[in-house]
């Protein structure tokens, strides 16, 4: 399964591309960061697993990749984006915050469902699962996704230095 850096960087980079080429004035860098952070949000079920296991022993598979890994999870944030219209919190429009969260969490599902393992896209209404498992978790001795995280992080940092001169802030 893709690891944390991949889950953060893929939606962050895609949201940044969207911002740079389509919606620079409406979609500022804060929303890009939110989309990136939301890329890891569906794995909040792992934290729920830890808490539940303080009281009762439950297998990880009973919790992980269930509700937060279904299409309902990003759909909730998409619906919220359409429900809140002009509400601002600290100069951030709440509708764009919810769009960014929906975008990031949707890409988490896409990564999990295509790269490794399965997701149940219609949980809890259906237990049908989907997964292309293009790179099984045990491929390359389980090191593929660690290497992917490292490569993506370096590429992103080089891109940011070239395009935004991040070394000026160090």
**CA dihedral angle for residue 121, residue 124, residue 128, residue 133, rounded to 10 degrees:** 40
Q: Does the pTM exceed 0.85?
A: yes
- The pLDDT value recorded for residue 169 is 67
- The pLDDT value recorded for residue 165 is 78
- The pLDDT value recorded for residue 98 is 97
- Judge contact between 15 and 35, C-beta under 8 A: yes
Q: What is the distance between the alpha carbons of residues 16 and 19, in angstroms, rounded to a whole number?
A: 5
**Which of 121, 145, 143 has the alpha carbon at shortest distance from 131?**
121
Domain locations along the chain: 4-169
| Regions of the chain where pLDDT drops below 70 | 169-170
**From residue 154, how far is each of 17, 40, 149 by CA, in Å?**
17, 19, 9
- The pLDDT value recorded for residue 84 is 92
- Residue 128: burial class (beta carbons within 10 Å; 0-12, 13-18, 19+): exposed
Q: What is the distance between the alpha carbons of residues 147 and 160, in angstroms, rounded to a whole number?
A: 20
- The pLDDT value recorded for residue 115 is 93
């Amino acid at each position: 399964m893709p690891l944390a850096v991949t889950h953060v960087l893929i939606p962050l980079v895609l949201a940044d591309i969207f911002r740079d080429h389509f919606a620079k004035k409406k979609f500022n860098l804060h929303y890009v960061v939110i989309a990136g952070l939301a890329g890891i949000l569906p794995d909040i079920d792992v934290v729920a697993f830890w808490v539940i296991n303080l009281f009762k022993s439950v297998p990880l598979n009973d919790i992980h990749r269930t509700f937060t890994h279904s299409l309902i999870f990003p759909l909730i944030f998409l619906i919220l984006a359409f429900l809140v219209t002009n509400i601002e919190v600290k100069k951030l429009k709440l509708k764009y915050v919810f769009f960014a969260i929906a975008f990031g969490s949707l890409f988490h599902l896409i990564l999990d469902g295509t790269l490794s393992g399965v997701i149940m896209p219609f949980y809890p209404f259906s237990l049908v699962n989907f997964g292309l498992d293009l790179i099984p978790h045990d491929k390359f001795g389980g090191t593929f996704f660690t290497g992917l995280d490292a490569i993506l992080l370096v590429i992103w940092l080089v891109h940011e230095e070239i395009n935004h001169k991040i070394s000026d802030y160090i």
